Copies of this chain bind each other. A is one copy, B any other.
Amino acid sequence: MIITTIKELRAYLDTQRKSGKTIGLVPTMGFLHEGHLSLIRRAKAENHIVVMSDFVNPTQFAPNEDFESYPRNIEHDEQLATDAGADVIFYPSVEEMYPNGSSTFVEAEGDITKVLCGASRPSHFKGVTTVVAMLFNIVQPQKAYFGQKDAQQAAVLIKMATDLHMNIELIVCPIVREEDGLAMSSRNTYLSANERAQAVILNQALVKAKTIFENGEHNVPNLIKTITDKITEMPLADIDYVSIYEYPSLKTIETVKEKALAAVAVRFGKTRLIDNIILEK
């Protein structure tokens, strides 16, 4: 069932809540793949009612980014989400979420939003925290589900929910990969056949770093060099960043002490892909 207005969604959810149902929220930008579906299945296993939001959020795109061309397919999304267990697909217009005059934002300040994707996309996380805060206020779920693929996004949202004392449990689910290891992403659809073939290097480089890490290499610059060298084997790969930070604080480290995030962003032509892996002693 697709619902497009906040008013209708609230009316539906109020009825559910009054009969004691719990609500799980899966925020997405649509163009669903197996990664999203894994979140919906998890949410359905843990809640009576699952709301999947399907909204390409303009405030998390910079003017030069792919907001207009971001892939959309609501009919396909509705079928996939419903089959995976979603009770409602919340599919609002931009005007419904950001009516004329809307100018209130939620922002996690500090290093956590300035490193990694925050460095090359400076206003991105402000848009993400704002739209997720809106969705939390609209749906008022007990639990909300996010993918580890967007590891920094998950860390930023957990910080937002903690700092603002939101009464919602945020659950981060594992990355879902294609058979050859490429992390699933709606943006994979942009890749040419050549780019698609070479994009597998992201996962391969991260797995290699994890292997040497487990064999005793805990020095961050050495681990970064291993990943960088591996990715540059592919001629079409144009590195945006290769970084390792303490996780989930995203603080700078020289040596991995307990738990770290190794994360990469790499362009193949016009397509910017991200991937990551957790290094844990």
Contact = CB atoms under 8 A, between A and B. Distances in A.
A65 interface: no
Contact of A137 (B108, B130, B138, B164): B164
Nearest to A108: B104
Contacts of A134: 164-165
A8 interface: no
Contacts of A138: 165, 167
B160 A104 contact: yes
A96 B62 CA distance: 36
A212 B40 CA distance: 63
Copies of this chain, complex-wide, total: 2
A110 B137 CA distance: 22
Given A134-B165, A164-B134, A166-B137, A129 B108 contact: no
A133 B167 CA distance: 12
A140 interface: yes
A115 interface: no
Contacts of A166: 137
A91 to B, nearest CB: 15
Interface in A140-192: 140, 159-160, 163-167
A236 B20 CA distance: 61
Given A105-B107, A108-B104, A129-B104, A140 B167 contact: yes
Given A133-B164, A134-B165, A137-B164, 5 more contacts: A103-B159, A104-B108, A104-B164, A106-B106, A134-B164
Q: Which 4 A-B pairs give the minimum distances between C-beta atoms? A: A104-B163, A103-B110, A103-B109, A104-B108
